[in-house]
Structure 1
Amino acid sequence: MVSLRALAVLALAAGLAAPAGAEPPKRVVSMNLCTDQLAMALAAPGQLVSVSYLALDPRSSAMVEEAMAYPTNRGRAEEIYLLKPDLVLAGSFGGPAVAMLHRLGVPVVEVAPPTSLAEARDAIAQVGAALGRSETAEAMIADFDREVARLARPAGPDAPTAATWGANGYSIAGDTLAGDILRRAGFALVTDRLGMETSGYVPLEVLVMAQPDLIVTGSPYPGASRAEEVLDHPALERLEGHVLRVPDALWTCALPRSLEALAMLSAEAEALR
């Protein structure tokens, strides 16, 4: 395998330039699950040459079928450099690999993970601009806005309550994409009523006492770990509310497909009123 030191020497010898000017990139590599999916939705034919291996995981990716058309990478600087990209899309927590790509002179656009549907619009616009596909991104945002307006429900003082419940008793707060979607669907968050400003552990007895109208869980994973045994705890059966499974892939990343989660939850909120 080519070492990082050797790659740096090669890059200097080749006189790699800074990011190209107005010309759209022709060889784009994505090394992040969320940029994978935005790039697949926005890129011109032949423009995207590789996505991360996570794009093929149905537990977290909403675009597995589309991802099967692309070679995958594992986010290592060496392999990405050897793909000769003129643009790399990465998350904002790319770590040493992104730092090395910067040192090698490879243009990298880092996209922060959106924590709301409003921020999702910004991510779509950012990736569209990076790809030279702003018109496509603007059309996607317009469709996105129309669907949000159609599906969103005002919560109001008598809003039904909802809590997410994950492995190890983890519950989502309002400062997350899932929290924003729940609120837009018309739910009041149990974590808000518990005074939780950030997501975290909620004891089962506290959840039971809160009596949420809806408990939202994720998709069951094959060979579930002991951390997920809490999802099948008999105490949950005593809650008056009911349980809805929302596939994790719909809101692991902020995407147009995230509106499927909004549609599911809006229908649940309407039924509970």
Structure 2
Amino acid sequence: MARIIHLAGVVFACAVMVIECAAPARAAELPRIVSMNVCTDQLLLTLADPGQIVGLSRYSRDRFQSWAADDARRYRILSGGAEDILIIRPDVVVASVFDKRATREFLKAKGMHVVEFDVPRSLDDVKDQIRQMGAITQHPDRANGEIARLDAAIARARQAIAQKHVRVLPLSRRGWVSGSESLLSSLLTQAGLSNAAGELGVAFGGFAPLEIIIDTKPDFLVVSDAGDRAEDDGSAFLLHSALQRFYPPSKRIVIPDRLTVCGGVMLAEALDVLIAELQRVERQE
């Protein structure tokens, strides 16, 4: 009996050793990654192991642009140029097609593996990019989990908005309208709202005069800030007396920019905010 117990202990000890040895080996196999863009930052922070992230963009800690700004404080910030990336020598560089082309091409010429992400125009594009980053980080299970979370948020929004027939107009600084083919429009229409920008002939985005906005008569404006003070001339547009007369706070749905400026996992939270805002404005009617 004692011999059996002894053998069992040996087997258990060996199993523990295998597990302990396998974990570092697995970590060593995972790619070391840097991100050049605030949008790829957020995908990377969500899907990678902390040890895989060896550099983030210089805007990664900007709370107005990054949903993951607090998490980004744990990591090295890049200069925006190629020099520090070449010093780090990561396995993969993730970037946006809108990052400086000369830098991207220089990194490629130096043998860097650069993966470029386009600007998503729809929630399907967002899901594809989540899968793409999941493949790069070698964590496809996490990517699938985030896509499932986004799908669940879409379902909640559709259920909350069903049969409401609400027309909205996404409006920001200086009268910029997010068009019918923009990511924000995809978010709104997937939830069951109608983007009135299509009636203005605006596709991806464009400026609209104040008179046209008022004449379009959307049920609500979708804005990124509920503030009553203008920081500059651009934001002053949203506080114009005529616009405030027809669209006071009870006619404005507020979704912060950090939840919609990039395509990624934060859109699930944006949809939940959308539901809460619709409930708020309905109570005030």
The alpha carbon displacement at 1:157 in A equals 8.6
Q: Which residue of 2 aligns with 1:182?
A: 188
Pick from 47, 57, 66: which aligns with 2:52?
A: 47
Determine if contact 1:154/1:184 at 8 Å carries over to the other structure: no
Pick from 86, 89, 111: which aligns with 2:91?
A: 86
Identity value in percent = 31
Partner amino acid for 2:107?
A: L
Q: Which residue of 2 aligns with 1:38?
A: 43
- Give the alignment's Cα RMSD to 1 decimal: 2.5
Question: Which entry has the higher C-alpha Rg, 1 or 2?
Answer: 2
Structure 1 SS opposite 2:34: strand
The alpha carbon displacement at 1:194 in A equals 2.1
Residue 151 of structure 2 corresponds to residue 142 of structure 1: no
Residue 232 of structure 2 corresponds to residue 225 of structure 1: yes
Q: Which residue of 2 aligns with 1:4?
A: none
Q: Which residue of 2 aligns with 1:57?
A: 62
The alpha carbon displacement at 1:197 in A equals 2.3
Give CA deviations for 1:38-87 in whole Å, capped at 9, x if unaligned: 00111123111111121111111001110010011132111211111111
Structure 2 SS opposite 1:171: strand
The alignment's TM-score, normalised by the length of structure 1, stands at 0.84
The alpha carbon displacement at 1:134 in A equals 1.5
Determine if contact 1:51/1:67 at 8 Å carries over to the other structure: yes
Stretch of structure 1 that moved more, 86-95 or 152-161: 152-161
Q: Which residue of 2 aligns with 1:26?
A: 31
Q: Which residue of 2 aligns with 1:246?
A: 255
Q: Which residue of 2 aligns with 1:16?
A: none
Q: Which residue of 2 aligns with 1:255?
A: 264
Tell me, in whole angstroms, the C-alpha distance in 2 between the residues paired with 1:139 and 1:242: 35
Determine if contact 1:29/1:50 at 8 Å carries over to the other structure: yes
Partner amino acid for 1:250?
A: L
Residue 213 of structure 2 corresponds to residue 207 of structure 1: yes
Structure 2 SS opposite 1:54: coil
Stretch of structure 1 that moved more, 151-160 or 222-231: 151-160
The alignment's TM-score, normalised by the length of structure 2, stands at 0.80
* Structure 1 segment 5-16 matched on structure 2, within 5 A: none
Tell me, in whole angstroms, the C-alpha distance in 2 between the residues paired with 1:250 and 1:114: 14
* Structure 1 segment 121-140 matched on structure 2, within 5 A: 121-140=127-146
Determine if contact 2:153/2:271 at 8 Å carries over to the other structure: no
Tell me, in whole angstroms, the C-alpha distance in 2 between the residues paired with 1:25 and 1:103: 24
Tell me, in whole angstroms, the C-alpha distance in 2 between the residues paired with 1:24 and 1:193: 52
How many residue pairs align between the two structures?
Answer: 251
Structure 2 SS opposite 1:152: helix
Give 5+ residue unaligned stretches, structure 2.
1-27
Tell me, in whole angstroms, the C-alpha distance in 1 between the residues paired with 2:186 and 2:278: 14
- Larger relative helix fraction: 2
The alpha carbon displacement at 1:155 in A equals 7.5
Tell me, in whole angstroms, the C-alpha distance in 1 between the residues paired with 2:253 and 2:160: 20
Tell me, in whole angstroms, the C-alpha distance in 2 between the residues paired with 1:138 and 1:260: 17
